Structure 1
Amino acid sequence: MEHINKNRLFLASCLALITTAMTFAIRARLETVFGPEGIGLTLEQLGYAFAPAFFGFTIAMIIGGPLVDLLGIKKITWMAFITHAVGIVLTLMADTMTSLFIATLFVGIGNGFVEAALNPMVASMYSDEKTKMLNRFHVWFPGGIVIGALVGWLIMDVMGLSWKVMVASLFVPLALYGILFFGQKIPVTERVQLGISNKVMFSSVFKPLFLFMVLCMFLTAASELGTTQRIESLLKESVAAPLLVLAFINGIMALGRMFAGQVVHKLSPSGMLLYSAIFTFIGLWLLTITTGGMTFVAAAVFAIGVTFFWPTMLGFVAEHLPETGALGLSIMGGAGMFSVSVVLPIMGNLMDTASAGEALRTMSVLPAILIVAFIGLNIYVKKNKIVKS
């Protein structure tokens, strides 16, 4: 049998996630290009134009989840590559709300296929340390946002080049992950390895614990990505360069995820989620009252909060509900991204009609709800003595 090169596949996966993450940072910078000060879209219209990045992601995750087992991880990965490439080209050509909407939809679908294929691949390759390795893989979501934010700042703000040069920079990680995946043998998903039937997989996603985690994913993802995706508009009155705050937040997140193994050792996944919710709530509240340099302090607290949300939610499901398979991970990721597509226009409306502070105060309600939910999850885990499957 042809050898599976785990290191090469993991590196390729990280570069695919960097491509995904850079689209988030670059899209945040495009707020001013396409917004009231640029092409002339309102912030609410931008919310609708950017929403497909999230519901397109959801569509790809929900479709891609079951197809990963049927078609294999490799085919879904190449679908990600193709839709990413089309989305980048269409973004370069966009000049209206409709054309931006369509371009963003392709990018979102590409992003969704990346997660649909590669979360189960990482879980399959490192079945004995899923939460640790999923956190390490997801280092490159904030890491990629840092790269994208710095690239955008250097190209547009320092060098004064066109926004199209910034968007075209996405072709670099895209080409690299395509080259690294090319010709490689890719493992089957863990569900296929374990011989779990489709019937068991589909019935497992209706378990109360899984449905509870899906509902929590709506709130964790919206708290993190709803805030960071609109950082340019939210903080433009507070600091001179909001994109640097975005890079700062995601730098902290990348470092935290890199050392997630030690945190998992000290805290259970459910404990990590509770502490994350507490810090996220405090961070969002502080962002409503700080300006200048203190904004970075508030941003640091917020970053500590959201660092472990996404990968630990996936890790909890992969460890405690492995029978849900790639479908379970895809539903989780899809639910998270769908919630952001709902939140973005609402935040845009609040910023158009009220203020950025009002939008941040509204967002702080989400982690407040999560604090209560995760206290309940910790009690449930201890009461039922849930152990890793």
Structure 2
Amino acid sequence: MENVNKNRLFLASCLALITTAMTFAIRARLETVFGPEGVGLTLEQIGYAFAPAFFGFTIAMIIGGPLVDLLGIKKITWMAFITHAVGIVLTIMADSMTSLFIATLFVGIGNGFVEAALNPLVASMYPDEKTKMLNRFHVWFPGGIVIGAILGWLTMDVMDLSWQVMVGTLFIPLLIYGFLFVGQKIPVTERVQLGVSNKKMFASVLNPLFLFMVACMFLTAASELGTTQRIESLLKESVAQPLLVLAFINGIMALGRLFAGKVVHKLKPSGMLLYSAIFTFIGLWMLTVTSGGMTFVAAAVFAIGITFFWPTMLGFVAEYLPETGALGLSIMGGAGMFSVSIVLPIMGRLMDGEGGITEALRTMSILPAILIVAFLGLSIYMKKRNKTAEV
């Protein structure tokens, strides 16, 4: 990788992911702005208005995955920059469910292009440390949510500024990551480096192990992002500042991902996923029976659970199914985000009903319960596979 400035590209990638993550935190704060006490939308309507953040992400991932190899990582990155910019401007101008839906769609597409381009970039720059470096890269998803949550709290709750000012803070990381990518030489994807044909890449995504991981991605992403995206409504009766709980959860996630290398070495990806599912289930169950200060304890357990889900799912595919290439990573990310677009309105409907918040959390806890069984099976399978490979 001659003339490739890995440090600058990795920093630029992290800032692009910070922009993506900040949109999640700021959107969580916008729930009360556009909700029954603000613009007047029901929680179910907000669920539909926010859904494009996730299915827009999916569309961009599915389109962007194959195009990364065809057009190159650089072009997809600039597509992310443009759609991010358009989405931010439209969000500032939003004043109804329809305008919020359209703005959120552009933001979601921008977020999807970031993942479609930059997960393969990180994997190609660090071929011998994929899971470790993807975890380090994804430090900045929870890290960005912490930044966005604190900025949202400061601008709206402390400084009493308008919600448009809060949304405008997204331009800061956007412009910086755009500047850092300007004029940089960007390597080709790992699949292109390995010389894997398009035919083999498309065939490899029908591998039963890959399809199993896609199915699990539906549940891991919904458990994590379905819950955190609706944190304002879920915890408004439990704590005074739900957005600070969101920052707390994501602070724990950022620290966990920063030191993921040691955990990966001890547990292997399949072991990490099993323990993650167990902690996620316990954390969600605890959130149904706690309030006040104990909410932070429950949130900490939940945070430990979801910390390694997203990057380890991607790392597992990159490490054990490399022939799926950028398409495989895009399908994984797209499946995860699509599942959240389905879950959000369902959660909204549950929360609009009587006793809905507890019911919503209990319903969400079913997902990691299924994952415990699935990842236990995966761990057993991978141990047998490794023993067979050694023989």
TM-score w.r.t. structure 1 length?
A: 0.99
Determine the C-alpha separation between the residues in 1 that align with 2:73 and 2:59.
Answer: 17
Deviation at 1:229, TM superposition (A): 0.1
What SS is found at the alignment partner of 2:128? Answer: coil
Once the two structures are superposed, the pairs formed by residues 103-182 of structure 1 within 5 Å of their partners are: 103-182=103-182
2:385 alignment counterpart: 384
1:87 alignment counterpart: 87
Deviation at 1:2, TM superposition (A): 6.1
Deviation at 1:384, TM superposition (A): 1.8
Determine the C-alpha separation between the residues in 2 that align with 1:385 and 1:158.
Answer: 54
Q: Is the 8 A contact 1:73 1:121 kept in 2?
A: yes
Determine the C-alpha separation between the residues in 1 that align with 2:156 and 2:324.
Answer: 44
Q: Is the 8 A contact 1:280 1:302 kept in 2?
A: yes
Does residue 42 of structure 1 match 2:42?
Answer: yes
Determine the C-alpha separation between the residues in 2 that align with 1:39 and 1:103.
Answer: 16
Once the two structures are superposed, the pairs formed by residues 181-196 of structure 1 within 5 Å of their partners are: 181-196=181-196
Deviations 1:25-69 (CA, angstroms, capped at 9, x unpaired): 000000010000000000000000000000000000000000000
1:13 alignment counterpart: 13
Query: 4+ residue runs of structure 1 moved beyond 4 angstroms?
Result: none
Q: Is the 8 A contact 1:125 1:187 kept in 2?
A: yes
Give the residue type in structure 2 aligned to 1:148.
Answer: G
What SS is found at the alignment partner of 2:314? Answer: helix
User: Which moves more between the two structures, 374-383 or 272-281?
Assistant: 374-383
1:246 alignment counterpart: 246
Determine the C-alpha separation between the residues in 1 that align with 2:200 and 2:319.
Answer: 16
Deviations 1:171-208 (CA, angstroms, capped at 9, x unpaired): 00000000000000000000000000000000000000
Does residue 214 of structure 1 match 2:220?
Answer: no
Deviations 1:218-263 (CA, angstroms, capped at 9, x unpaired): 0000000000000000000000000000000000000000000010
Deviation at 1:143, TM superposition (A): 0.1
CA RMSD in angstroms, aligned pairs only: 1.0
Determine the C-alpha separation between the residues in 2 that align with 1:356 and 1:149.
Answer: 21
Give the residue type in structure 2 aligned to 1:129.
Answer: E
Deviations 1:116-147 (CA, angstroms, capped at 9, x unpaired): 00000000000000000000000000000000
Deviation at 1:265, TM superposition (A): 1.0
Determine the C-alpha separation between the residues in 2 that align with 1:165 and 1:195.
Answer: 48
Once the two structures are superposed, the pairs formed by residues 197-236 of structure 1 within 5 Å of their partners are: 197-236=197-236
Deviations 1:65-96 (CA, angstroms, capped at 9, x unpaired): 00000000000000000000000000010001
What SS is found at the alignment partner of 1:267? Answer: helix
Does residue 359 of structure 1 match 2:363?
Answer: no
Q: Is the 8 A contact 1:53 1:341 kept in 2?
A: yes
Q: Is the 8 A contact 1:284 1:360 kept in 2?
A: yes
Give the residue type in structure 2 aligned to 1:380.
Answer: Y
Determine the C-alpha separation between the residues in 2 that align with 1:192 and 1:46.
Answer: 41
2:59 alignment counterpart: 59
Deviation at 1:383, TM superposition (A): 1.5
Determine the C-alpha separation between the residues in 1 that align with 2:58 and 2:265.
Answer: 32
Does residue 283 of structure 1 match 2:283?
Answer: yes
Deviation at 1:353, TM superposition (A): 1.2
How many residues are paired up? 388
Does residue 348 of structure 1 match 2:348?
Answer: yes
2:321 alignment counterpart: 321
Give the residue type in structure 1 aligned to 2:358.
Answer: G
Give the residue type in structure 1 aligned to 2:20.
Answer: T
Does residue 373 of structure 1 match 2:374?
Answer: yes
Give the residue type in structure 1 aligned to 2:199.
Answer: K
Q: Is the 8 A contact 1:131 1:315 kept in 2?
A: yes
Deviation at 1:339, TM superposition (A): 0.1
What SS is found at the alignment partner of 1:127? Answer: coil
2:75 alignment counterpart: 75
Unaligned runs of 5+ in 2: none
User: Which moves more between the two structures, 143-152 or 378-387?
Assistant: 378-387
Unaligned runs of 5+ in 1: none
Determine the C-alpha separation between the residues in 2 that align with 1:330 and 1:271.
Answer: 23
Q: Is the 8 A contact 1:81 1:178 kept in 2?
A: yes
Determine the C-alpha separation between the residues in 1 that align with 2:265 and 2:21.
Answer: 27
TM-score w.r.t. structure 2 length?
A: 0.98
Deviation at 1:382, TM superposition (A): 1.1
Determine the C-alpha separation between the residues in 2 that align with 1:2 and 1:311.
Answer: 27
Give the residue type in structure 2 aligned to 1:314.
Answer: L
Does residue 296 of structure 1 match 2:296?
Answer: yes
Q: Is the 8 A contact 1:220 1:336 kept in 2?
A: yes
Deviation at 1:343, TM superposition (A): 0.1
Q: Is the 8 A contact 1:64 1:117 kept in 2?
A: yes
Q: Is the 8 A contact 1:2 1:185 kept in 2?
A: no
Deviations 1:300-343 (CA, angstroms, capped at 9, x unpaired): 00000000000000000000000000000000000000000000
